[in-house]
Structure 1
Amino acid sequence: MSETSKPAVQDRVDVLVIGAGVTGIYQLYTAREAGFSVRLLEAGTGVGGTWYWNRYPEARFDSESYTYGYLFSKELWEEWEWSERFAGQPEIERYFNHVVDKFDLRRDIRTGVKVTSAVFDEPSGTWTVRGSDGTEVRARYVVAATGNLSVPFIPGIPGREDFRGEQHHTSRWPKTPIDFTGKRVAQIGTGSSGVQIISAIADDVAQLTVYQKDADWLTPLNNAPITPEEQAELKANYESIRDTLNTSPSGFLHQIVMRSGLDDSPEDRQAFYEERWNGPGFTKLTEHYMDMLSNETVNAEWCVFMADKIRSIVKDPETADKLIPKGHGYGGRRPPFGTGYYETYNKPNVSLVDINTTPITRITEDGIETADGVEDFDIIIWATGYDFGTGALNRLGVQGRQGLPLKEYWADGPRTYLGVATAGFPNFFFPGGPHGATGNNPRYAGDQVEIITDAIVHARDHGYDVVEVTEAAEEEWTDAMNNSKMSSFLESSYFYGGNIPGKPVKQLLNPTGRWALQEAINTVKQNDFPTFVLSKAEHPDA
Structure 2
Amino acid sequence: MTTQHDLLVVGAGLAGLYTTIHAERAGLDVLGLEAGDDVGGTWYWNRYPGARCDVESIDYSFSFDDELQREWRWTERYATQPEILRYLNHVADRFDVRRHYRFGQRLSAASWDEGLQHWEVRTETGLTATARWLVMATGGLSKPQLPDLPGRDTFAGTVLQTSAWPEGPVDLRGRRVAVIGTGSSGVQAIPLLAEQASELTVYQRSANYSVPAFNRPIDDEEWAQQQRALPRRRELSWNGAAGSPWTSHPVPFAETGEEERRAVFEESWTRGGVLFAKAFQGLTVDPVINDAARLFFEEKLAERVHDPEVRATLTPRDHPVGTKRICTDSGYYETFNAPHVTLVDLRTEPLAEVTPTGIRTAARHREHDVIVYATGFDAMTGALTAIDIRGREGRSLREDWSGFPSTYLGIGLPGYPNLLVLNGPGSPSVLSNMALTSEQQGDLALRMIAHCRDRGFTSIEARADAAEAWTAHSLELADRTLFGSAPSWYTGANIAGKARGFLPYIGGFKAYIDRCEEVAAAGFRGFVLSSR
C-alpha deviations, 1:215-243, integer Å up to 9, x for none?
Answer: 11111111111121122123233432332
Residue 503 of structure 1 is matched in structure 2 by 498
Greater alpha carbon shift after TM alignment, 483-492 vs 387-396: 483-492
Residue 6 of structure 1 is matched in structure 2 by none
Q: Would the alpha carbon gap of residues 242 and 271 (structure 1) be closer, same or farther in structure 2, given more than 3 Å must change?
A: closer
1:233 is paired with a residue of what secondary structure? helix
Q: Determine which of 408, 415, 424 is the counterpart of 2:399.
A: 408
Residue 40 of structure 2 is matched in structure 1 by 48
Deviation beyond 6 Å, 4+ runs, structure 1? none
2:87 is paired with a residue of what secondary structure? helix
- Are residue 65 (structure 1) and residue 60 (structure 2) matched? no
Residue 204 of structure 1 is matched in structure 2 by 196
Tell me, which stretches of 5 or more residues in structure 1 are unaligned? 1-8, 538-542
Distance in 2, Cα, partners of 1:446 & 1:129? 25
Give the CA deviation at 1:513: 2.0
The answer to whether the Cα contact below 8 Å between 1:491 and 1:505 also exists between their aligned partners in 2 is: no
2:243 is paired with a residue of what secondary structure? coil
* Structure 1 residues 23-172: aligned runs within 5 Å: 23-172=15-164
1:203 is paired with a residue of what secondary structure? helix
C-alpha deviations, 1:97-131, integer Å up to 9, x for none?
Answer: 11011011110011100101001000111001111
Distance in 1, Cα, partners of 2:58 & 2:433? 12
The answer to whether the Cα contact below 8 Å between 2:285 and 2:481 also exists between their aligned partners in 1 is: no
Q: Which amino acid aligns with 2:304?
A: I
Give the CA deviation at 1:465: 1.1
Residue 458 of structure 2 is matched in structure 1 by 465
Q: Which amino acid aligns with 2:228?
A: A
Q: Would the alpha carbon gap of residues 493 and 293 (structure 1) be closer, same or farther in structure 2, given more than 3 Å must change?
A: same
Q: Would the alpha carbon gap of residues 151 and 472 (structure 1) be closer, same or farther in structure 2, given more than 3 Å must change?
A: same
Give the CA deviation at 1:491: 4.7
- Are residue 450 (structure 1) and residue 443 (structure 2) matched? yes
- Are residue 324 (structure 1) and residue 321 (structure 2) matched? no
Residue 300 of structure 2 is matched in structure 1 by 309
Distance in 2, Cα, partners of 1:491 & 1:10? 46
1:369 is paired with a residue of what secondary structure? strand
- Are residue 441 (structure 1) and residue 434 (structure 2) matched? yes
2:86 is paired with a residue of what secondary structure? helix
Give the CA deviation at 1:293: 2.2
Give the CA deviation at 1:338: 0.6
Distance in 2, Cα, partners of 1:273 & 1:530? 43
The answer to whether the Cα contact below 8 Å between 2:37 and 2:104 also exists between their aligned partners in 1 is: yes
- Are residue 292 (structure 1) and residue 283 (structure 2) matched? yes
Distance in 2, Cα, partners of 1:426 & 1:279? 44
Distance in 2, Cα, partners of 1:209 & 1:281? 24
The answer to whether the Cα contact below 8 Å between 2:240 and 2:508 also exists between their aligned partners in 1 is: no
C-alpha deviations, 1:432-489, integer Å up to 9, x for none?
Answer: 1211112223322322221111010010011111111111211111111122234432
Distance in 2, Cα, partners of 1:90 & 1:328? 32
* Structure 1 residues 216-365: aligned runs within 5 Å: 216-286=208-278, 288-365=279-356
- Are residue 376 (structure 1) and residue 370 (structure 2) matched? no
Give the CA deviation at 1:40: 0.5
The answer to whether the Cα contact below 8 Å between 1:199 and 1:339 also exists between their aligned partners in 2 is: yes
1:454 is paired with a residue of what secondary structure? helix
The normalised TM-score by structure 2 is: 0.97
Give the CA deviation at 1:171: 0.5
Q: Determine which of 388, 391, 397 is the counterpart of 2:388.
A: 397
Greater alpha carbon shift after TM alignment, 149-158 vs 305-314: 305-314
- Are residue 488 (structure 1) and residue 486 (structure 2) matched? no
2:5 is paired with a residue of what secondary structure? strand
Q: Which amino acid aligns with 1:508?
A: L
1:372 is paired with a residue of what secondary structure? coil
C-alpha deviations, 1:493-538, integer Å up to 9, x for none?
Answer: 110101100111022110222233112111112112122222123x
Distance in 2, Cα, partners of 1:488 & 1:81? 38
Greater alpha carbon shift after TM alignment, 378-387 vs 303-312: 303-312
Q: Which amino acid aligns with 2:387?
A: L
Q: Which amino acid aligns with 1:480?
A: H
Distance in 1, Cα, partners of 2:9 & 2:157? 38
Q: Aligned pairs, how many?
A: 528
The answer to whether the Cα contact below 8 Å between 1:487 and 1:511 also exists between their aligned partners in 2 is: no
Q: Which amino acid aligns with 2:148?
A: G
Q: Which amino acid aligns with 1:73?
A: D
Distance in 2, Cα, partners of 1:267 & 1:237? 31
Q: Which amino acid aligns with 2:352?
A: T
1:475 is paired with a residue of what secondary structure? helix
Q: Which amino acid aligns with 1:55?
A: R
Distance in 2, Cα, partners of 1:486 & 1:239? 34
C-alpha deviations, 1:407-435, integer Å up to 9, x for none?
Answer: 11112111101111100000001111211
- RMSD value over aligned CA atoms? 1.3
Q: Would the alpha carbon gap of residues 404 and 464 (structure 1) be closer, same or farther in structure 2, given more than 3 Å must change?
A: same
The answer to whether the Cα contact below 8 Å between 2:319 and 2:487 also exists between their aligned partners in 1 is: no
C-alpha deviations, 1:332-366, integer Å up to 9, x for none?
Answer: 21111111111111101101000000011000001
Q: Which amino acid aligns with 1:298?
A: I
Distance in 1, Cα, partners of 2:502 & 2:117? 31
1:387 is paired with a residue of what secondary structure? coil
Residue 4 of structure 1 is matched in structure 2 by none
Distance in 1, Cα, partners of 2:43 & 2:458? 35
Greater alpha carbon shift after TM alignment, 52-61 vs 441-450: 441-450
Q: Which amino acid aligns with 1:369?
A: R
Distance in 2, Cα, partners of 1:253 & 1:85? 14
The answer to whether the Cα contact below 8 Å between 1:184 and 1:377 also exists between their aligned partners in 2 is: yes
Give the CA deviation at 1:247: 2.0
1:329 is paired with a residue of what secondary structure? coil
Q: Which amino acid aligns with 2:332?
A: Y
2:273 is paired with a residue of what secondary structure? coil
The answer to whether the Cα contact below 8 Å between 2:241 and 2:511 also exists between their aligned partners in 1 is: no
Q: Which amino acid aligns with 1:394?
A: T
- Are residue 10 (structure 1) and residue 2 (structure 2) matched? yes
Q: Which amino acid aligns with 2:303?
A: S
Distance in 2, Cα, partners of 1:311 & 1:240? 38
The answer to whether the Cα contact below 8 Å between 2:274 and 2:322 also exists between their aligned partners in 1 is: no
The answer to whether the Cα contact below 8 Å between 1:486 and 1:511 also exists between their aligned partners in 2 is: no
- Are residue 536 (structure 1) and residue 527 (structure 2) matched? no
